């Protein structure tokens, strides 16, 4: 049987390393870019007045909670017009 139950090279094996496109760091960055892209699409739909799906509404509420938790949110009433 070819390969059998062999899971492949050991974790961290650098023998076949050619570029950093599939490193854990690159994958994490790509995941963040994809999520940011999805979030921007949701915000754009909201700006244009397009109805959001329940999944998109849930994500929008999660973004709002995250902003409040991190202290990065300011209500428009709190912003001074100097």
Long-range contacts of 17-23 (CB under 8 A, 24+ apart): none
Q: What pLDDT shows up at residue 47?
A: 96
Q: For residue range 20-78, what is the model confidence (pLDDT) as tens digits?
A: 777 888 899 999 999 999 999 999 999 999 999 999 999 999 999 998 888 876 665 45
Residue 81 pLDDT > 60: no
Cα 53–Cα 72–Cα 50 angle in degrees, nearest 5: 20
Task: Dig out the tokens for 47 from the structure.
Answer: 């700006």
Q: Which residue has the higher pLDDT, 80 or 61?
A: 61
Q: What is the pLDDT of residue 31?
A: 96
Give the whole-angstrom CA distance, residue 34 versus residue 19: 21
């Amino acid at each position: 049987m070819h390969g059998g139950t062999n899971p492949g090279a050991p974790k961290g094996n650098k023998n076949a390393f050619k570029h950093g496109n599939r490193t854990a760091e690159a994958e994490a960055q790509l995941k963040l870019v994809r999520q940011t892209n999805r979030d921007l699409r949701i915000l754009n739909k909201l700006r244009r007045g397009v109805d959001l799906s329940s999944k998109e509404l849930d994500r929008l509420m999660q973004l709002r909670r995250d902003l409040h938790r991190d202290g990065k949110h300011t209500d428009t009433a709190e912003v001074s017009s100097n």
